[in-house]
Amino acid sequence: MPMKKLALLVAAVMLLGLVPLQSANAYGNVACKMRYSLKGWSLFYQTAQGSGIVTCSNGQRLRVILETKGGGLTIGRSEIRDGKGRFSGVHTITDVLGRYITANVHAGAAESSSAQVLTKGNVSLALAGIGQGWNLGVAFGKFVIKPVK
């Protein structure tokens, strides 16, 4: 099985198995999604920065800055473009801001795939993206979403 397909399969299983995405009314009353890009590196320590746009079903929209740091059994460099995220447990767009606890799996050579499961209190976020780079590993850490000023 090619590395890209294997990475996408692992990402899909992780997102579907570890983060049950409830309807918007299960925890909050607003459905929010995020489009993002993220670029970083890892060698046991993992760091990445990026940006995104959060849009919600109530018409709210917010440009955000993304930062992630963590560690684990991980090595590589990657850049995710046109990543997609889905929030649950949101009442208003400002609920998406803050520090999340992360767990992610990533694998790739030339084309890179990434999946992350994030939680912050009642708010959860599932991220998935494909990009360029080379990487392999599993990592845990923090993922911070801040508004663009």
75 pLDDT higher than 80:
yes
pLDDT of 29-52, one tens digit each? 899 999 999 999 888 888 999 999
CA dihedral sign, ordered 88, 103, 52, 78: negative
CA distances from 76 to 62, 73, 105, 126 (A): 30, 11, 12, 22
Domain boundaries of the chain, sorted by first residue: 3-147
133 sits in the region (left: phi over 0; alpha: psi -120 to 50; else beta) called: left
pLDDT at 112: 66
CB atoms within 10 A of CB 67: 16
Sort 81 into a burial class: Cβ within 10 Å, 0-12 / 13-18 / 19+. middle
pLDDT at 1: 46
Overall average pLDDT of the 58-75 stretch: 93
pLDDT at 16: 44
On whether the pTM is more than 0.85, the answer is no
pLDDT at 121: 92
67 pLDDT higher than 60:
yes
pLDDT at 28: 58
pLDDT of 135-148, one tens digit each? 788 888 999 999 99
Identify the CA nearest to 81 among candidates 134, 139, 132: 132
Enumerate the β-bridge partners of residue 128: 84, 115
Overall average pLDDT of the 90-96 stretch: 95
CB–CB of 119/75 below 8 Å?
no
